[in-house]
Amino acid sequence: MSSAPDEPSRWIRRFHPAPEDAPRMICFPHAGGSASYYFPMSKSLSPQVEILAVQYPGRQDRRSEPLLDSIGGLADGVFEALRSWSGRPFVFFGHSMGALVAYEVARRFQERTSTGPRCLFVSGRRAPSLHRPGTVHLRDDPGFVADLVRLGGTDQRFLQDQELLELTLPVARSDYKAVETYSHASGPPLECPITAFVGDRDPEASVEDVKAWSEHTAGGLDLQVFPGGHFYLDACRAEVAGAVVEALNEQAPAVSVEGSAGR
């Protein structure tokens, strides 16, 4: 694994090499997730697409760093780190909480620089304008774990092993707080198009909720529905990879996924 030097390297992970002219996709993890969640996607799309995965503070190799419990704080940190990686065209992909963070980072690029993502891929997340405050992050441990089980996506080993659970819960609780206390600030829509993915049985984001992302872009919305729940992505990784490549080809033809679905 390689990464950019100094401060940005704390935030960005690159799992597989890619040619200099390969499209670059920066991926944002879900609540409680880490950069490694995107290792399979990176493997699937390499070397046709370069995946850079965001590593939030407080997890894996950053576990000794203080957690950030607001979407704004996470977005500010990622934005500053990514500025040194924005020398060539890029797109964003965010799942669940990651969709909110990616959206806010895209807004910062649009407001503060002359560059920005060519496309924003959002997955398993209702539009920011439809945010509903929540209190799951205030529950006791059994109540909080029950919600992790309800949504899926968390390795059962972490939920059944007390030592691993003690490492997992503070991170997930902090991320839940970030999502549940998020407040969308009005502003101009993104100039880039948005491609939105959602599972047809997602208890957190209905298809209608996800359609509302159209309010946040002047570049048009492409909505794609997959079978599954909140973590439909795990079972539909090949299909999602194909949809990503198709969208990238519309912007810069010649991306190939031959042989990628089985990896």
Show which residues are catalytic: 96, 230
Q: Do residues 88 and 18 touch, judged by C-beta distance below 8 A? A: no
CA–CA dist 159, 134 (Å, integer): 22
Report in angstroms the alpha-carbon separations of 155 from 59, 83, 145, 161, 181: 15, 33, 12, 11, 25
Tell the residue number behind the tokens 């060519």, with chain if given: 118
**Amino acid (1-letter code) at residue 129:** S
Give the ranges where 115-228 is alpha helix by DSSP (H): 141-151, 156-160, 162-180, 207-211
List Cβ neighbours of 256 (8 Å cut-off, separation of 6 or more): 48, 245
Phi, psi of 243 (to 5 degrees): -65, -40
